[in-house]
Structure 1
């Protein structure tokens, strides 16, 4: 085999290993194409690009909407969790509410006994019992609702029995007939009050 024949055998492999130049191919393609064909292809590419941009915008909008929904759900869950915690705290604080409500009548009787009985020995015993009773109520977060004369009437905390002649301004509390009570920020018994008709003003 001659040297020329060997050179010819190697030449095709060397050409195959040479990478094609994409820019050159594009230039050649553009030079060979008809103007109308190029215009159609460019228009198609522009349309594809516009579609891709629109789809990208839609995807971003959907992503933002999902992120917003997720944040709202997280906020709702946190609020729900806080409400449940508050409810559990209130229920725990009011666990003895029924018992306390029944015992309030006993306290009323002790107070009435102090108002009526002059016997010193009995009075000391009643006062001591009432003091213990009040400490128990305090331990159960029970507070007395006992408005002062001249205070405004609060329908959530006061029960108006009757209007009476009084020197207090009209429509305000004249006197407390029976104190009320609230437990853990809930009114368990309204205070019974009389209201001034303003006749003494």
Structure 2
């Protein structure tokens, strides 16, 4: 009977050892599977990263090319507006009639064409009136003359200025008043 109990006890120990070995083997397989899954995930993420970097570089290159083209051709519309002005000036120079009125009319038409081109390009005149305060952003004082007028006010305009949208292209050249001294 004791032999029976020893056999049963030995069988239980063997079963426990076998079960433990099987569990350990299963755990190793599960760990190996998990490692393989994680390695596949890492490879996929590395691939995604490389693709994202390539897409980013391609976008940067496209943006740089677009910026260059924008800068290169930004003046295109304005240039198209100026071509007829040049044509009119060339026609005026070719006129052999000697009639001043005809020449004056041609120059007037050319000026109107140029003003229209300026308007389309948002180029505005800076033409200060006598008595306006000197604005250093839009006016350039060429000289100052003693006057009864308030100091630093415009006495005369020597040359008009121009601005593109809100940026000064060329300041108006003016003579300003200074206090009598």
Q: Provide the TM-score with structure 2 as the length reference.
A: 0.44
Q: Provide the TM-score with structure 1 as the length reference.
A: 0.40
